[in-house]
Structure 1
């Protein structure tokens, strides 16, 4: 099921040039089912590196939590129900998504080329493009606010006239699931499972819509009205910028949750390690307390969580803690990043 936050299945129609676009629940026109030799695209320094990266991990304690949508307000095809109890061991997860500066250290050390760089194009939101007109190749028919921009990649997130150093502390974007795995291999890390992600994102709170509670905005005097970076205004033409950002915000913006994680709602979608299978909760996890689930062995793509700066409560409420979606492993865009877990 496509939504307004990401390009949908219509992207399959574009064979040339290749689009590195999120494809929700479908396999697109790239090698999504083909194993990628991640080491082959890295240079001679492509071994595990940890020095010099500010991890900022937080400790998540062991415990049991209720996973899924307790309000029954999610998309049926996303498979957010039934709510089921999950027992989790303690683990350490990064407080933020991987930033441009951290990803640049990986690129400098290894010479790795991301899939967006190899394909030569990636998806940029139409109000954020920084490129010559000749580099704006086409839009996706059903979601025309996504433009296919030549030269858009992790180092040029808005197009070739932009550069990552202009937003060094923002989440890295235009990174596919395969690219995220390559980073993890170098950094001695891994992607979180979907259960780990939701457990950590909830910050010790049970049954809430968001990390801060059940209401989207703060009404209390003296507190900021906005708790996360999502769209305000008339999508996709006018963003009122109530939260201060048209696209990504710095990775440590807004208040952290109870465990110290930043922005598990909004800003950028985050890759998880699991395959996405909408019926997984219903058929595999519905009975009793589940022990640290690792996800299904098959699926239509890889799970992504958290929503992004393009989500809006009038059409896409996937920035709720229980919300889930997916993309093919080689998809990438300007609103998709990742955080990591310690081994």
Structure 2
């Protein structure tokens, strides 16, 4: 499956242009809960140390692709405190001239079953389309700089996570930043922060003490997101309480690329953490044990990433 042939794994159904009735899927911060105090407060590059050792990952499987509890060993690594932001990615592009996959016209040789005229630069956007309600569309011209297509921009959104990122884009940034992408195991170890076997990153209650701990979807998906957690759509980084390691947004907001294949299928990688579109009635893959298959060359308005570094940690030579 390619980014030009959307499938059931991502809930996508259409290939083609933007319909006339499309509008941007917005956000509403007027009723932001009290837990949101420091949105965007940590936009500088910052990584947090995860000590090497033996860890339990996984939990009782909810979906068939989940592995269940298992023990893994890892060397220590540094991981970004938050998802890579628009400001960080913009610095990378300014320094290197990099163009993301979404900004490039696909090679017709890679898509022999499609009309070459349909192969245009763009990406998948979740929004409102005429006659469709909220759902996915392929939007020509959508990219990290124009997340909802031509006419949209990221102006004023430096501290939002960068989106419309394919695996190669994330890997290119990671290399430039002196790092790489985490494996699935490393990602989950960092997300759990010692909460072995817990249902959620922070424990077994979705809203401990009645507090929202992540940016997800409230309401019947995909009809309406009430924004009860403070956001209907993307949130800036760092709006919710950090985990025990000090990492923010490991749950929800945007899916995050890992370096691990999803299965023996060479076409699919793995994203973790869920996004603002995850809802209990549709997708509970915002749990740290959950996995999602994603085509390596696929980008969308809810896929971002964070990086790790294998530099020596505290007290290491």
Counterpart-to-counterpart distance in 1, 2:228 and 2:247: 22
Pairwise CA distance, 1:212 = 1.3
**8 Å contact from structure 1 (residues 100, 165) kept in 2:** no
1:206 paired with 2:173, answer no
Alpha-carbon separation, structure 2, partners of 1:84 and 1:341: 22
Cα distance in structure 1, aligned partners of 2:267 and 2:137:
24
Match of 1:163 among 153, 176, 189: 153
Name 1:323's counterpart in structure 2. 290
Cα distance, 1:216 vs structure 2? 0.8
Counterparts of residues 242-281 of structure 1 (less than 5 Å): 242-277=228-263
For residue 185 of structure 1, report the CA deviation from its aligned partner: 2.1
2:296 matched to 1:306?
no
Q: Does structure 1 conserve the Cα–Cα contact (< 8 Å) formed by 2:238 and 2:249? A: yes
Once the two structures are TM-superposed, the CA of residue 144 in structure 1 deviates from its matched residue by: 6.7
Specify the alignment match of 2:103 in structure 1: 117
Conserved 8 A contact 1:270-1:339: yes
Give the TM-score normalised by structure 2: 0.78
Q: Tell me how far apart the structure 2 counterparts of residues 198 and 256 of structure 1 sit (CA, whole Å).
A: 15
Partner of 1:286: none
The answer for the alignment partner of 2:206 in structure 1 is 216
Distance 1:208 1:82, change over 3 A: closer
**Structure 1 match to 2:313:** none
1:160 Cα offset (Å): 2.1
List per-residue Cα deviations over 1:102-156 (Å, max 9, x = no partner): 00001111111111111422111114x8xxx9xxxx98xxx97012222210011
In the alignment, structure 1 residue 75 sits paired with structure 2 residue 100: no
1:7-26 correspondence to structure 2 within 5 Å: 7-8=11-12, 10=13, 14=15
Of stretches 264-273 and 298-307 in structure 1, the one that deviates more from structure 2 is 298-307
Unaligned runs of 5+ in 2: 1-6, 18-42, 106-120, 311-317
Structure 1, unaligned stretches of length 5 or more?
18-52, 278-295
Matching of residue 178 in structure 1 with residue 168 in structure 2: yes
Residues in 2 aligned to 1:181 and 1:62: alpha-carbon distance in whole angstroms:
23
Which residue is 2:94 aligned to? 108
Secondary structure of the corresponding residue to residue 180 of structure 1: helix
More helix by share: 1
Taking the aligned partners of 1:228 and 1:144, their CA distance within structure 2 comes to 21
Indicate conservation of the 8 Å contact 2:126/2:134, yes or no. Answer: no
Counterpart CA distance in 1 for 2:309 and 2:236 is 22
Instruction: Spell out structure 1 runs of 4+ moving beyond 6 A.
Output: none
Q: Provide the residue aligned with 1:229 in structure 2.
A: 215
Distance 1:144 1:2 in 2: 16
Alignment length (residue pairs): 265
Measured in 1, the distance between the counterparts of 2:260 and 2:228 equals 34
Q: Does 1:92 find its partner at 2:87?
A: no
2:134–2:222 contact (8 Å) kept in structure 1 = no
Q: Secondary structure at the match of 1:233?
A: coil
CA deviation profile, 1:29-86 (whole Å, cap 9, x unmatched)? xxxxxxxxxxxxxxxxxxxxxxxx932100111222212223x3x211x2x1232111
Displacement, 1:300?
4.2
